[in-house]
Structure 1
Amino acid sequence: MQIKNFIVNQSLKELTEHRTVELPIACYETTIKQNIHGYIPLHWHEEIQFVLIVKGEAIFQINEERIVVREGDGLFINSGCLHMAEEKQKSGCVYICLNVSPHFVLSQELYMSYVVPYMQATNLPYVFVDATELWGKNIVDAILKIKQLIERKTQYFEIDITMQLALIWKNLLFNGFQPEYLQTEMLKSQRMKQMLNWIHLHYAEKIMLEDIARAGQLSRSECCRYFKRILKTTPLNYVIDYRIQKSLSLLQQAESNVTEVAYQVGFNSTSYFIEKFKHSMNMTPLAYKKYKTDNY
């Protein structure tokens, strides 16, 4: 199953239902370039995530850090961490994504001792899973096994999945990471989400830098530093990029036209919308609309 459009709420929390009918777990294969945006946009979710690259290479950004993950290797992304992904050098990247409710990783008796401390750690937004290391290979093998179990649904497959999840978690702990808790990092994450939440509620309106900074309880200069450090862009450029993202689904509606869409997503000039859209998507909004119409 391929999720081609990540539905998120105003705070970038992904709204996709990450579970099968039987279990609080979802496993799907993702071809990055098939996403509606051509990349996996910034989002977060309460589930923990395990990624295994099966083809090509991807660049993942988790909070402020960017990391290249190559074919055969994987990644653990912690609960609540902002993350996005793009393929590297048109490698046709495909990856297996395993999203798991933290409560499902271990039994309730072990959950507080062996899961919660690591979920709440501020120094563990992600762990690179190196398949050349024994612990990494064990995790990769377990991800593949879980995917197979979900697809085949053999007798007692639910029990087998819980065994594989426990194995994955045990190997992560064997990797030796030590949880740390920095109040400043927790506050920084909270403020970033508050600012993004405000933008996503008001993107169709006139937005000033002061408005965004106020939402995060920051000065204008500190607000700019947050965006530069975490998202590698300016607050107002992020607003433009987000407006263009929101325009994509509108342009695919048969009755829409470019001028209406431009004003709907917050641009006050059609020519400026076309200019920014072309810079972001390498085609005009009209060309994008025609391309989507011809290919669906």
Structure 2
Amino acid sequence: MEGYLENEKFIEDGISYPFRTHTQAIEGRKLIVGSHYHDHIEILFCLSGRINIFLDGQGYVFGVGDMVVINSMEVHNIFAASEGVNKYIVIRFDPELLYTTTQSVFESRYVLPFTMKTSIHQKLFTYEETADTPIPDLIKKILLEDQKKAYGFELAIRTYIGEVFLWILRSWQEKGLDLNLTQALDKTNIERLQKVFDYVDEHFDQEISIQDMAKLCAVSYSYFSRFFKSAMNRNFSAYVNFIRISKAESLLTTSELSVTDIALNVGFSTTSYFIEQFKLYKNMTPKRFRNNFQTLEQI
């Protein structure tokens, strides 16, 4: 089964860019790209045909005028589903592009929904939702700017991507999705969260206690518990399990390890608890999740 961590750097003529765009065209029904995941955020906009994508444990079909948003580190694979020409625009970029500067703090609350791999967010925006909006024009402008590379194209692309994501955020808000974006996060709290994120990402396969995190952030146990729950809209234990499930999701599609081995590798002490948590977050068992990928790859 195909699957890999894509660590591609966007380098052209020796210059590193925080983005890359291209048009993908495939004739007939076939696999376009196998199971993979990456740090960058990805936008797909369909121009012709029909595309199947397996994303975040769910299958989606998108056609002409539909847009798909793939969060950072979300495992996905893509299939051409129609007999004719299946064509779509691909826009990939580093999440840092959404920040004004790397030290910007207030923007973090808007970027987190795209980097936290939160499964509740809308992934597919249909033609009916985007047709009478700036989205189609913005997507095509981004592609054209990258192709022509006229003076200042980097600034233009950054601006257009920002407009796309502002539209997405406001669309979510209008639909009543709770993104926890009204939570006031000052610089100190963002730095505390970042310490926790980094620590959990590096030690997810080990025992991690709230006491350890409180000490890391130089606050009391009770303060850290309240702060984390308020900022993230979930308690710390749930967050750790979420990260472990995300790591397990990758292993299920990029390795042949057994479910028991994967459970142990991502920090769960028992297979039964791992399966219970996986079903909680993905609404399916690890085995079914893996089988779904294998089935789609055979289409």
Q: Common fold, TM-score beyond 0.5?
A: yes
Identity %: 17
1:61 aligns with 2:54: yes
1:193 aligns with 2:247: yes
Q: Please give the alpha-carbon distance, in whole angstroms, between the structure 2 residues aligned to 1:53 and 1:39.
A: 14
How far is the alpha carbon of 1:23 from its aligned partner? 2.4
1:130 aligns with 2:165: no
- What residue is the counterpart of 1:27 in the other structure? 21
1:229 aligns with 2:284: yes
1:159 to 151, 155, 174: 155
Indicate conservation of the 8 Å contact 2:41/2:114, yes or no: no
> 1:214–1:114: structure 2 CA closer, same or farther, 3 Å change rule?
closer
Unaligned runs of 5+ in 1: 1-5, 246-279, 282-296
1:219 aligns with 2:271: yes
Q: TM-score, normalised by structure 1?
A: 0.62
Q: Please give the alpha-carbon distance, in whole angstroms, between the structure 2 residues aligned to 1:153 and 1:80.
A: 28
Which amino acid is the alignment partner of residue 141 of structure 1?
A: D
Q: Please give the alpha-carbon distance, in whole angstroms, between the structure 1 residues aligned to 2:288 and 2:28.
A: 24
Higher strand share: 2
1:77 aligns with 2:132: no
Q: Which moved further from structure 2: 78-87 or 102-111? A: 102-111
Report Cα offsets for 1:113-161 as digits up to 9, x if no partner: 4323553362445532234335873222211101100111112212211
Which amino acid is the alignment partner of residue 244 of structure 2?
A: Q
Unaligned runs of 5+ in 2: 181-232
Q: Give the number of equivalent residue pairs.
A: 229
Q: TM-score, normalised by structure 2?
A: 0.62
Indicate conservation of the 8 Å contact 1:56/1:91, yes or no: yes
1:146 aligns with 2:112: no
Q: Give the alignment's Cα RMSD to 1 decimal.
A: 3.8
Which amino acid is the alignment partner of residue 59 of structure 1?
A: N
1:251-262 to 2 correspondences below 5 Å: none
How far is the alpha carbon of 1:85 from its aligned partner? 1.6
Q: Please give the alpha-carbon distance, in whole angstroms, between the structure 2 residues aligned to 1:86 and 1:131.
A: 19
Determine which structure has greater relative contact order: mean sequence separation of CA pairs < 8 Å that are 6+ residues apart, divided by chain length: 2
Indicate conservation of the 8 Å contact 2:21/2:143, yes or no: yes
Q: Please give the alpha-carbon distance, in whole angstroms, between the structure 2 residues aligned to 1:52 and 1:231.
A: 30
How far is the alpha carbon of 1:56 from its aligned partner? 0.5
